[in-house]
Structure 1
Amino acid sequence: MIRVLVADDEARICKLIIKLIDWDKNDMQVIGTASNGIEALELIERENPDIIITDIRMPGYDGLEMIERAKKIKSDLEFIIISGYGEFEYAKKAIEFGVKDYLLKPINKDDLLKALLKVGEGVKKKKGQILLEKEYEQILKNDANKIREGLLNNLILFQPESFRDYTLSEINENHHFRFHEGFFRVAALKIDSVGVDCFDTIKNRINETRDMIRAELQNVTYELDFIHSKRDLYIIMNYNEAQKRQIEKGLLKILEAFKRRVSMVEKLEITIALGEEAQDLSGITESFQSAKLLVEDRLLKGTGKIIEIDKKRTDQAEIEDMFYYFSKKFIKAVELLDIDEVKKTVMHFKKDICSKNIRGAELKRMILEMENIFYLTMKSNNIKVESAQEDGQNLKNLIDNCSSIDCLFNGLLEHVASSLTVLAGDKYHNNLKQIKQAKRYIEENYMKNITLEDLGAHIGFNPSYFSSLFKRETGISFVEYLSKIRIEKAKELLRESDLRIQDVCLMVGYSDAKYFTKSFIKHTGLKPNEYRKIFA
């Protein structure tokens, strides 16, 4: 966890900074606050922070002097400075001294978080590099295989840009490789379990498959090595033109051998994804990244095969439009706690997306976004899901280990349906059925001159009682909700049709154009014609 010290002579500023950020979520911890430069230096010595957020001017020491003294205590400290507009030139000078970022007062939450994440990423990399250097010192005492492994892990996983700093002869001489001029390629090998997770079994099978690959390809490549990353195996290959076909045959042979020996018995599936082919060593990191991305495409292309790069992709704007319209229907079904409608909406989206040519990684992103939309919808409707954080992590773990589109969507539906089932039966939500009926009635009749009495008669409640119930359960009044639905429909018509604004006004239930315009401005901050110009 990254350790953060906050230093400002105004206590309210320190409190504000601490309150603005969800520190645990961002893997950070505030280890103390200081009101002057002297206190800050004492805390630095005692608490060993990684990042200091400090005012540019404080009692005790001038800002730059405090930074200079702090660097002598801990040379790898990172600083984010806070300054007023009048201190801008001073802040720029501080950045010349190695300060990573500065914030202008008043402090904005988004700017503060952005600065912390940027500086925190540098701290993590630095810590990782220090750890790698220590490990590398130990590796140097071991055999050549570990030296090779250390270099590949370091350069490909942590410092990909550093490959450009090495020549083939340097790497061969210093790290026991036999690289030649020719082609360089990384293949990703993924083993998935069907149904039951079995991490240890997969780990053993990956090691066995690695040995099979080594035996099959060792003599048909200039160089062959491997990188292990969680449940994945990455194969680094260096070869010439004549060896390409032999490598392809060898990988196919390994796939078939795996399926014969392992798949049926242990219900495991294997996939190999071939990254981009590079013509020099510096391109091997791009090959690694493309292989890592490509292996996720097994979700749509299937397992038990070799996946190669396919440049044909459905236009991203079309995918985003599909997801946008799905989201609207999904949100409505979730708001009504309608499990059947949620399932119907999700499965319809699955059918649509299966007809498109998209990346597996993009599909995973959309599934996670659906989960996020679900919880945001719950929150916006004042419905508390007690196990949201735990359920979210369980879904993320499931998605990480899915090998098919069915697994993804079934996992999402099980996750959402179980939460909705609990909510529907919870005593706290005994009245939600009536609220659901009321919302549906409003959404089906918003264009009419409906009243609270009409709604009460439809639901079977006293209008006065139902008014308070609706406000308590939804957070807004009947009139506010009706207005919201009407304006949302008006926005849709303004975006997607050429209807006159007066016609839109009548179609969404307003008889007075001036009142419609006033309500539209209240909800959107824009006049109807201005909204159309921007969003149509």
Structure 2
Amino acid sequence: MRVLVADDEKLSRVSLISMLEESERDISIAGEATNGEDLLNALSKMQPDVAFVDIRMPKMNGLEAIERGRKLSPHTQWVILSGFSEFDYARKALSLGAFMYLLKPLGMEELGAVLDSLFTKIDQTYQRLDDEFEHYILAALNNGQSPGLAEFVSEARYTKYKVLLIATDTHAFPGQMEQAKHCLYRAIQEAVSGWSSLTCRVAIFTLTSGETAVAMCWQEGEPKDDLQMEVMTDSIYHRINRLTNQRIAYTQVDSSIYANIGGMLAGLQDIRRLLPLRAVIGINHRFSLEELQKQPPAAAHMGLVMTKLVDDYHHHLYMDYCRELEEITTLLRTEQHSKQQIKHMRSFIQYGMNDSAELETAELTTLLTRHADKLLSDKKKLEGEPPDMISEVIYSIEQHYASNISIAQLAERLRITPNYLSSTFHKKTGTTFTKYLTRLRIHRAKELLSTTNLPVKDIALQVGYYSTRHFVKLFIESEGCYPTEYKKQARL
């Protein structure tokens, strides 16, 4: 907790600072002020968590300073100190939003109780500001704009921004996947604990494509601020690296430091676009965005096809998987790949598709073909006698995703209630019926955007959306860009 002490009497300032330091709490003295004008200048520069302010000071009394200071440091908590127990003073102070009105001289016990309350209040403020920061970022990513973000940023005058993106690769079941992401989120929380302040924001959130992001912004100050940020990002990587095991791999990508929120959002989109490179240059590693940007286009393309293939495998999309396998076979035959790249691709298959047998000796295409055979075998079983209810539902979704399919229709066909089917589907797959259907439709739409010249309206209809506007909204939420932008990127 950063504290500013404003009092024209030196003895009073020294006494209060001494008591604060003796309280054995996490408190740093941000500065001192001897009059109202000094207080305003200090507020603007320091953005303290708490300001202890004497009522009677020269040039500007404490109440006037608070009234003006709230605009300079809107989230600072105010504690009024006075030698006068006058009701009008107290009422005015509380009307201005003061946290507490205290009479001099303060006792240590009384100060301790006030500090405990202040810490609780400040933690709540930090959490609210972090939540707002996260909300604005997600709104900007999903909608292309974020009302209120400019005001939020300018209010605290943030001048530096950075974002990390962590991909999770695993062949674990959906329930285990959710547990892995929960552990990842908790590890990140532990790493960033204590970093938020009135001049620093941290937001942790999951993108619609499944990656976990950590966004940070802070005011430019002493060099140690940047150093502390590097220490924190290092801590995040070391903590999540300890979570890695034979089933789950985490890959972290760090952006540059940007001077504005727009730069950070653009950097995040660049990382999302290049993240599939991990299939070629290595999972279980930490990269900078600059490292990814230096990779040749051929590696980026191979990484994209590899990640699509593993995604198709997880979603039992046999025809899509075979299409990706054919392209990978062609790329391996026509392009040069180093032994290290081949090793990284094998590792990606191992984690993504649970393939350990003959991993070191078999050709990549042999390994992938074996999985294609497994998908075909599963598909035949499904088309014959479905092994379970949810497999039948998934098969129906894949066959009829372009029509007006609903969980109510499927439940009626299975002679069960929609609520029971919805609950069972979520338990078995780790996601909701609607999200699964949307993900499949967007996946099909991306294929059409990449391989045809159909207009967006026609593509929306072909994947089951009669409202182009609704389709575009869902596509942006999933991919972070408009369908037309995706088409241009896919054809570069």
TM-score band w.r.t. shorter chain: 0.3 to 0.5
Please report the TM-score for the alignment, with normalisation by the length of structure 2.
0.35
Higher Rg: 1
| Larger RCO, structure (CA 8 Å, separation 6 or more) | 2
Please report the TM-score for the alignment, with normalisation by the length of structure 1.
0.32
